[in-house]
Amino acid sequence: MSITRRLFVSGLAITAVLPTVRAAQAQGKGLIAIITPSHDNPFFKAEAVGAEARALELGYETLVLVHDDDPNKQSEMFDTAIARGAVAIICDNAGADASVAPVQRAKDAGIPSFLIDREIKTSGIAISQIVSNNYQGAQLGAEEFVALMGEKGPYVELLGREADTNAGIRSAGYHDIIDQYPDLQMVAQQSANWSQTEGYEKMETILQANPGIKGVICGNDTMAMGAWAALEAAGRTDVIVVGFDGSNDVRDSILAGGIKATVLQPAYRQAQLAVEQADEYLRTGSTGQPEKQLMDCVLITPDNAGRLETFALADAS
């Protein structure tokens, strides 16, 4: 059923946009499709904005789409990109397994994909997969968390969405550090699916069952914001919260003495780099880089939070 709908939709898309594409190709270097999760999370918005800005600078047209972490929607968007004759696809994907097929379809249609933030389970079908060094970043966050906790006390971990490799890798990085300290006890570990609302709700419930908690380590910043709001509402601003992403929201909370630390993923630069590699690939047939690339993360504390803006850290002056 969904196949029929997809075909129908792409059929519509072809009919609707063919004239536009022809016009675009006549003037520019072609169309780059930029597909990310919902812009409600500023992290994904920064990716889309960063990629689009760089693509326009390099002389491309852009098509910005949002898959809302729905693999079916993502699949339709890849078909739209194919139908519109995109020259490249920049994508923060909707699932390590589910994204293999659409990336392959784009490849079969002669369109190279450049993935950011999240990996897919298969190599050899995307041209680039540029991801944050989540393991390194999580270890940085965990070391800071351990220090803030004074190496002891009960704590909670809020995990990201299970289908996302980044949820697992961050948790692994956290525990490789935290589990060395026997006086740190994890009293609850739950997924809040990267969501601020769920972070709030889960934190509220966990807090009722475990009023003695001293810290919360979160797989991303939106969950940290949700958890912090719940703690504030319960009058528990003594609880240490650490996030991951480096969003402006968490930066502001850190500077106001709320959340204690986060880990910056260079999301803006990462998206720009993907576009640069797409451009290089389209011009020369090679990016000059291995397919899978890691980018280091940076610990954000009150010391450097003031230099953080839209997922990029300005140099210390």
Partner 1 sequence: MRQAILSGALVCLLLPAAACKIVPNPDPNDQSEALASRTDEARMAAYVDANWESQVLPVIAEHEVAYDTWRQALAQGLDAAGEAHGLRPDGEANPWNFVVSGTGTVTEAKLDSRAAKMQVDMDSDGAADVVLQLGPIIRGTAMRDAMPFVVFTDFRDQIEFAKLARAMNERASAGLTRPEGDVIGQTVSFTGVFTLRAAGDTPEIVPVEIEMGATP
**Closest CA relative to residue 67, chosen from 31, 88, 98:** 98
Stretch that binds partner 1, among 38-46, 66-74, 118-126, 195-203 (CB under 8 A): 118-126
131 interacts with partner 1 by CB under 8 A: yes
316 interacts with partner 1 by CB under 8 A: no
248 interacts with partner 1 by CB under 8 A: no
In the list 70, 204, 280, 291, the residue contacting partner 1 (rule: CB under 8 A) is: 291
In the list 104, 293, 304, 310, the residue contacting partner 1 (rule: CB under 8 A) is: 293
CB-nearer residue toward partner 1: 143 or 204: 143
Phi/psi of residue 186, nearest 5 degrees: -85, 115
In the list 41, 139, 195, 196, the residue contacting partner 1 (rule: CB under 8 A) is: 139
Q: Which residue has the tokens 């890691």?
A: 294
For residue 252, count CB atoms less than 10 angstroms from its CB and return exposed for 0-12, middle for 13-18, buried for 19 or more.
Answer: middle
Question: With contacts defined by CB under 8 A, how many residues of the chain interact with partner 1?
Answer: 34
CA distance 18 to 247: 38
The least CB distance from residue 238 to partner 1, in Å, is 28
47 contact partners, CB below 8 Å, separation of at least 6: 36, 92, 116, 117, 267, 268, 270, 271
306 contact partners, CB below 8 Å, separation of at least 6: 255
The least CB distance from residue 130 to partner 1, in Å, is 8
189 interacts with partner 1 by CB under 8 A: no
123 interacts with partner 1 by CB under 8 A: yes
DSSP class of 231: H
CA distance 141 to 136: 9
> Which residues contribute to the site for partner 1 (CB under 8 A)?
1, 3, 96, 119, 121, 123, 129-131, 134-136, 139, 162, 165-166, 168-169, 172-173, 176-177, 180, 266, 269, 273, 289-296
